[in-house]
Chains A and B, each alone.
Chain A
């Protein structure tokens, strides 16, 4: 049984011009301790998938179909209170911008102890001791002194370390990391990724790593899901997806990454832009931009089909 099982999840936003389907039958699973990368352009539905899993879709968005199971237990239909107890304790989340994700008026120690004490019976002294331990583990120097400092007294990279400590401190089995390094200096990005990787490995925590940076995924994740216009275009082991992309969109995405190994004459780009949700094409959502488009693509929407070592939503693999 996988740790997390997402099956045919559909997310809709009712607007006054009709219902927008922002996620369409998204299915994937994550095993214990595994790191799954999720890539795609902004607006492809990566963050929305994360929000749906942790039960924090913003109104008026709602899960309109499918199911989400954690250790076999359905969590998408839970009431507010049991869902709250899952958040932080069993599924943690890391956000993009550490400058805005920490409450500016609370000391970081208070934010840590409050989180732990919400989920576990801990005396104040124990909670404080554990909080210092966590700050130490995420690499905050002189943790015992800095625990009473406010967020603004830390640098951006240090704050993201604090955010990671906050997400991990109640020891969840799964972390949804939504672009954890995008807002950071390039020099700090690698450190944060390494920290996240090491800590989750020690702890046996699974990670759903949302990013648009294929490089990060290649270094960190075991499998990768490529999203396009609210659907999964391709999912499979990172090495296979990078070397033998089965979906033309993945192929285009890989070709646009500069690489030292395979010297590409110049960066290739996929023509056109991802369609808006209120103007989706018929058939395969990628077909207007697809270099290998054929008749069937215009009429029928492909589901994930086995394509070698990966699975791709592309009619090219209909026979596979």
Chain B
């Protein structure tokens, strides 16, 4: 009864959760910075012609020898760290979002199939999902990435690498979506109105789309947000390990890997600033996901 009286009202919740609002704001700023990078970044880090070794290793503002044209300093080739971060954020977010999208679509299709078909199909698909869930996603992504790289001809590797990464990360994330969707499908499948619809000959895929999908938007949104955090970390990790995106498309992970080499020579800012950006991005995503989960699931309070 009390649960009904304080029934969850997402917007109300949101504007009474300062942490969630702050996370959303930061997330928005980062997304804007990423996708408007070509227009608002102070320099174009991809433009090799504009780089000058004279400018290399300029420290960030607050240290001796810094100036406002490179607020976060420059790297070994004189590349502006702030601009590199904005472009890197763009690559990281694109890879992360597309991986999650891929995982959602795959998960929904498999979940619907398993839940609706039942029987052996269901058993086999869910067994695969179980096994994969116990297998750490970074390992799945790494192995898938390694195998595809081995299969692809050398000349095509760089061009296709983004898609390989998206596939490798997406394939490691689908099982949680599939499980949720399957659960809802099983519940809905046996409801009277679905049976009635089947009796009058509505095709099953239509029933599924109309009645099952609306029921899973909440959970899928929550898992999707939390998965986005995982996907961004996974991409950064793969790029850091040197098996991710090619150096021509540096993501945050790639930038951190480059900067790692200069840690001992004192140029910490080349690696620390992209690192902090990555942490803030993932933290904002996770805070939002956490809040969303609690808001949609009042029982957990």
Contact = CB atoms under 8 A, between A and B. Distances in A.
Interface of A: 13, 15-17, 20, 43, 276-278
13 contacts: A13-B2, A15-B2, A15-B5, A16-B12, A17-B5, A17-B6, A20-B5, A43-B1, A276-B1, A276-B4, A276-B5, A277-B1, A278-B5
Given A13-B2, A16-B12, A16-B16, 16 more contacts: A15-B2, A15-B5, A15-B6, A16-B6, A17-B5, A17-B6, A20-B2, A20-B5, A43-B1, A276-B1, A276-B4, A276-B5, A277-B1, A277-B2, A277-B5, A278-B5
Contacts, number: 19
Contacts of A15: 2, 5-6
Contacts of B2: 13, 15, 20, 277
A36 B1 CA distance: 26
A294 B49 CA distance: 92
Contacts of A276: 1, 4-5
Q: List the 9 closest pairs (A to B, CB-CB), nearest first.
A: A15-B6, A278-B5, A43-B1, A15-B5, A13-B2, A16-B6, A20-B5, A17-B6, A17-B5
B300 to A, nearest CB: 15
Contacts of A43: 1
A277 B4 CA distance: 10
**Which secondary structure dominates where chain B touches chain A?**
helix
Nearest to B1: A43
B301 to A, nearest CB: 10
Contacts of B4: 276
A33 B12 CA distance: 51
Nearest to A60: B2
A278 B4 CA distance: 10
Interface size class of B (residues with CB under 8 A): under 10
Contacts of B6: 15-17
A17 B6 CA distance: 7
Contacts of B12: 16
A13 B12 CA distance: 20
Interface in B1-56: 1-2, 4-6, 12, 16
A289 to B, nearest CB: 18
A277 B12 CA distance: 21
A278 B5 CA distance: 7
Nearest to A58: B2
A43 B2 CA distance: 10
A20 B4 CA distance: 12
A211 B37 CA distance: 67
B57 to A, nearest CB: 54
A20 B5 CA distance: 9
A278 B1 CA distance: 10
Contacts of A277: 1-2, 5
A39 to B, nearest CB: 18
Nearest to A274: B1
A17 B16 CA distance: 13
A43 to B, nearest CB: 5
Contacts of B1: 43, 276-277
Nearest to A278: B5
Chain A CB within 10 Å, residue with most, of B2, B6, B12: B2
A43 B4 CA distance: 12
A281 B2 CA distance: 18
Contacts of B5: 15, 17, 20, 276-278
Nearest to B6: A15
B230 to A, nearest CB: 32
A15 B5 CA distance: 8
Nearest to B2: A13
A16 B16 CA distance: 10
A33 to B, nearest CB: 34
A15 to B, nearest CB: 5
A16 B3 CA distance: 12
A119 to B, nearest CB: 33
Interface in B243-296: none
B36 to A, nearest CB: 38
A43 B16 CA distance: 29
A40 to B, nearest CB: 13
A281 to B, nearest CB: 16
B227 to A, nearest CB: 30
A15 B4 CA distance: 11
Nearest to A43: B1
Nearest to A16: B6
B189 to A, nearest CB: 28
A277 to B, nearest CB: 7
A149 B142 CA distance: 49
